[in-house]
Structures are given as C-alpha cells and as structure tokens.
Structure 1
Amino acid sequence: MTDTTNALPPAEGLLTIGSFAARARLSPKALRLYDRLGLLRPAHVDDTTGYRYYRAAQVERARLVFLLRGLDMPLARIAEVVERQETDGQAAADLVTAYWADVEERLAGQRTLAHYLRGRLSGRSSELYATFEVHTVDVPEQWVITEKRHTLVEELPVWIPASLARLEAAAEECGGTTGSPFVVYHSEVSQESDGPVESCVPVADPEAARTWAAQHARAWNTTARLEPAHRLAYTRITKAQVANPQIHAAYEAVEAWLTEEGHTYAGPCREIYFTDWDTSGPEDEVCDIAFPIQPG
C-alpha cells in the first residue's frame, strides 16, 4: 500500500514519510529508493498498511546519502561512509577524500584521452606520432620463465609488477636473469577483452627454469620456454607515457611506421621494462613498445 503524509505514526517521536521528507528536504520517492537500496531504512514499517515511519535523528543520514549520491559514489562506498560517520566523522571524511582522489585521477586520464581522440579524429594522428622515434634491434634466442593470465585492462597495473617481481625472484634459482623483463600481449586487453597476457623474465639455466616452472604451474600458470631469435621494431617511452592514452599513441606510432616501411608482423606486441620502475621519475625512459617483425 502507498505511504501517505496523513497516516498517523504508531508511536510518539516517529514521523510519517511525508513529514520526514519535508524535514530532510527530500522527496518520498527518494526515501523509498534509499530504503530499497539499503542506505536508509525506516525506523518502523506498519505490518498492515506498509506505511514507513522515521525518527527525526535520521534526517542527517538522509541528507548525507543524498549528497554522496551527488558525487556518483557507488552504493557500497556510500554505505561505508554513512556507517563510519556515526562513530568517526574524520574517518568518514577520509573515505570521501580517498574516493574523490580516485575520481580526479580518472577524470585526468579521460581528459587526456579526449585530447588524444580529438587529434586522431581530426586527422592529426601524424602529429601525435611524431614524438615517437622508431628503431629496430635484433634479439638473440633466450630462455624465459613466464606467467600467463587472462586479465582485463584495469587489473594490469597490479598484476604486471606483481608477476614480474615473482619471476625475477625465481630467476635466482634459474641461473640469474640474462635480459630485461617483458610482457607479451597475445590478444587484445581492454575493458571488454582479457588477453591473455604473459609476463616473461630471461634466465640463464634452462633445466632449472623447466623444474621451477613445473613446480609452480598450478599456482601461477608458469612455463619455461625458448624465445627464438627475432627482430623488434620499437619506440622508447617515459614513465609518464606508460599511462593511457599516451601508451596507445606509442603502439599506433610503431604500427604506422611498420605500414609505411612495408614490414610484416612476426609475433604479438610486447612491453620491455629495462630499468627500475620504482626509482624512475615521470620523465625517465622506462619501457620499449615493441613488435616482432620479419627480418629483411
């Protein structure tokens, strides 16, 4: 049955939904939504009529929910903030600060992406690619230990460093590292496509590598394999350029160069991390964006 503003409260101190909505400066419709979402439950619901009743003390929570929804905050985080606010206002404020920092970081990335897309759609792609110099290098065959995983793009910033750290630690059991770690993209990785992606570390001892990979295959989907000799076309980017959309522009710059030079792809693209990420600054070169190509 529909709540009414004229229904009598079942006990002194309770407000009808209409009276409470007026005091909270919200609509009854909004209050019903907050109830349905589990963000603001009525103090009492009449078993017979279904009328909702609230306490005056719930006004502050109702207004807080309304304001937090204005930030497009997810429901789970709203619930966390309003619950924390009742016992620790500063902790609740810190939750809002952390959420908004995430929002601003996302907006900054989207702003940069919009700038990139405007240039691309207006036919100025060549200007975007001009900052990336493309070179080639011949890489000898090498044994690598690897982890492979299906993952979406938002998980990469966590999984890549974690997997490479595990592999570099394991390399000590495999004769040590013999080259820079790299990440191979066997298929598209995006918000809709999950690869797979393979983290790789070159090692010196093939037999030890095979033994280690067999021992850890179940936990980390590890392998040891021989990476054949190949030629790479690559461009070098800074730590700041690893972020979207700059890294996409780097990939497209190499692909545009391959088309212009008439080269043929010989394998999946990869990112080669040749220096310590944690100690590098935003303008330090940290990574090669590379494509295997046919020699010639």
Structure 2
Amino acid sequence: MSESSEPLELTRGEFARRSGLSPKALRLYERSGLLVPHRVEAANGYRFYLPEQVGVAVRVRELRRMDMPLSMVAEVVAASPAEAVGLVRAWWRVRQEVERSRQAMLERVCDLVGEHGPERAGAVRGAGSQEESGEGVWSTSLETVPAVTVACARARVGLQELVETYLGLAERVRRVLVGQGARVGEQTWVVYHGTPSPDGAALIEVAVPYEGVAWPERGVSLRWEGAGVWLVAEVARRDCFYPRIMGAYAAVERGLVERGLRSVEGFREVYVRPWESVGEGEAFAWVVRPLARG
C-alpha cells in the first residue's frame, strides 16, 4: 500500500492485526487509558484508531510481555524517548532485586521443608535471642542520627508485593530528586505504618534522605525528620529476607524492654548501602525503632 493510500483511520480489527494485540487486550488498554480510540461511533460503538497509534500499541505490547504493570507502562508511554529508556532500565533493576530476594527465600523454604526442616525451623525461632542460632547473633545498639530532610512516597501493600513495591517507590523518589538536582544519599528507609501480611495490606512509606533544594511532585512529598536516637539491629545482606529478618525485629522489641526504653513510632527498615556494593556477610540494613524524645 502506498503512503497516499494509507487509511486515515483503522478499525479495531485492523488495528489489532497491525499491533499484534487481541481485541480483549485493546478493551483493557482502553479502560485503563493507555490506548484510547481516536473515535467511537455513537450509533454502534465501533472504535477507530489512527495509524500512528500502532507504534504506541507495539510498545505497550512489548512492555506487557515483560510483565510490567499497567501503571508503569503508562509512565513509560508518556515519557520522552530518553526518559522512557531510563524508566525501563530502573524498573528492570527493581525486578532483579525482587528476584534475588525471592531466590534467598526459596533456599530458606527448601531448608525448612526438607530433611532437616525441624532443626532449621528451631534455629529461626531462636534467632531473636542473644544465643547462637547457628546463623549468627542478633544484637542491638543505640545510634544517634542527625536531622535530615527526606522525600517520601506511600502505598498500601500486602506481604507478597512488599519488596517490589518499596523498591519501585524508592526508584521513583530517587528519580524525582535527581531530576531536580538534589544530592541523594545511599540510605533508603521503609517506614511501616502497619504490618503487611499475606492476607492483608498495610500502609508503608518509602523515604530517601537528601540535601539541596527539591519540591514535591505528584505522589512524592517532602518532610523534615528531626535528630534523635534509634534502637537498631544490624542485618547482614545474607539475612535480609523473610522470615530470617524477623529475628532482628524480635531483638529490637526485646532490647526496648531490657533497656527500659520507649518508642512512639513503628518499625522501619533502613537500607544503609546499595545491594551490589555489600558482601554477603556485611551490614546491609538496620531494623529500627526510633526512641521517644525526652
């Protein structure tokens, strides 16, 4: 077909054929706002698309084949080409982090259900004490932390989606800060305003400390975190997965009682360094309870 004979509009069937998307997928993407028809006939509801929308549809198709969620696909499609590449690469880094976490969880579960499951399970139950568990000792310390400004994003999430959600929020917050020229530190905080579980969602907040000038954007807010003292259990990278990390939570709870301390805030996890820069036995995260002032 010559360029001059290219139709001005494509029917839904022709658009589906050219883009490789099924009519069912096109209906889904229309409802989500990703691929809205150029025109809908009032009399019969027939949908018509522009030929130039085929390129957008192909990008949507390939992003969805990578299991990218619709909300992220919408961001990529709306971005400039250079920004879109950065978004896709950032999302893929998150996926890799999630897979590493799940691999560690897989190995742990295989140990628990395997031949030596009961002995292994006993080690996990004892991990919150100061006794040797065969996997190290959980201990606590007091850390004085300076005042800092943080950029934050919030979401309600269940346990299954927790890692992917907070990594995605952290990437978004960092992208906003870097785009505004702020200086971003290595730490990432996950502040729990509830307890995510396999059966229910809870509110979490991802916060990234920064220096310099920044301003809020949609979904990203700024707040001032005052100086204070935290009760901390240090977590090595090899231990930073569920349920192993729960030993650190138990140690912090016990430490509050043993030291006669009081916390008016919930738990937070503070990731002190990037995953790839930390060895298996090195400190990767803190499990924290901020202490009441005064």
Q: TM-score, normalised by structure 1?
A: 0.55
Structure 2 Cα separation of the partners of residues 159 and 280 of structure 1: 22
Residue 42 of structure 1 is matched in structure 2 by: none
Checking the alignment, whether the CA contact within 8 Å between 2:145 and 2:230 is kept in structure 1 is: yes
Larger gyration radius, structure 1 or structure 2: 1
Which shows bigger deviation, 117-126 or 154-163?
A: 117-126
Note the alpha carbon deviations across 1:184-241, whole angstroms, 9 max, x for none. Answer: 0111112123221111011223xx43x3x2x322xxxx21111122210001111111
Residue 185 of structure 1 is matched in structure 2 by: 192
2:171 corresponds to 1:169: no
Residue 271 of structure 1 is matched in structure 2 by: 269
Distance change >3 Å, CA 279–CA 119, structure 1 → 2: closer
Shift of 1:159: 1.7
Structure 2 Cα separation of the partners of residues 136 and 195 of structure 1: 28
Can you give the 5+ residue segments of structure 2 that lack an aligned partner in the other structure?
Answer: 1-102
Structure 2 Cα separation of the partners of residues 223 and 203 of structure 1: 13
2:294 corresponds to 1:292: no
Amino acid at match of 1:271: E
Shift of 1:107: 3.2
Amino acid at match of 2:148: Q
Checking the alignment, whether the CA contact within 8 Å between 1:236 and 1:287 is kept in structure 2 is: yes
Q: What is the total number of aligned residue pairs between the two structures?
A: 187
Checking the alignment, whether the CA contact within 8 Å between 1:116 and 1:245 is kept in structure 2 is: no
Distance change >3 Å, CA 143–CA 282, structure 1 → 2: same
Of 116, 125, 144 in structure 1, the residue corresponding to residue 150 of structure 2 is: 144
Note the alpha carbon deviations across 1:123-154, whole angstroms, 9 max, x for none. Answer: 99452687022111122221111111100111
Residue 159 of structure 1 is matched in structure 2 by: 165
Can you give the 5+ residue segments of structure 1 that lack an aligned partner in the other structure?
Answer: 1-100
Q: TM-score, normalised by structure 2?
A: 0.55
Shift of 1:277: 0.7
**Secondary structure of 2:229 counterpart:** strand
Distance change >3 Å, CA 114–CA 181, structure 1 → 2: farther
How is 1:22-101 mapped onto 2 (pairs within 5 angstroms)?
A: none
Amino acid at match of 1:191: P
Residue 203 of structure 1 is matched in structure 2 by: 210
2:131 corresponds to 1:127: yes
Checking the alignment, whether the CA contact within 8 Å between 1:183 and 1:270 is kept in structure 2 is: yes
Distance change >3 Å, CA 186–CA 104, structure 1 → 2: closer
Task: Specify which structure has the higher proportion of helix.
Answer: 1
Shift of 1:170: 2.1
Checking the alignment, whether the CA contact within 8 Å between 1:187 and 1:196 is kept in structure 2 is: yes
Structure 1 Cα separation of the partners of residues 124 and 174 of structure 2: 38
2:122 corresponds to 1:118: yes
How many percent of aligned residue pairs carry the same amino acid? 21
Distance change >3 Å, CA 102–CA 177, structure 1 → 2: closer
Amino acid at match of 2:176: A
Checking the alignment, whether the CA contact within 8 Å between 2:128 and 2:249 is kept in structure 1 is: no
Distance change >3 Å, CA 125–CA 231, structure 1 → 2: closer
Checking the alignment, whether the CA contact within 8 Å between 1:174 and 1:204 is kept in structure 2 is: no
**Secondary structure of 1:127 counterpart:** coil
Shift of 1:104: 5.4
Distance change >3 Å, CA 282–CA 102, structure 1 → 2: closer
Shift of 1:114: 5.8
Residue 223 of structure 1 is matched in structure 2 by: 221
Structure 2 Cα separation of the partners of residues 262 and 113 of structure 1: 36
Structure 2 Cα separation of the partners of residues 250 and 195 of structure 1: 20
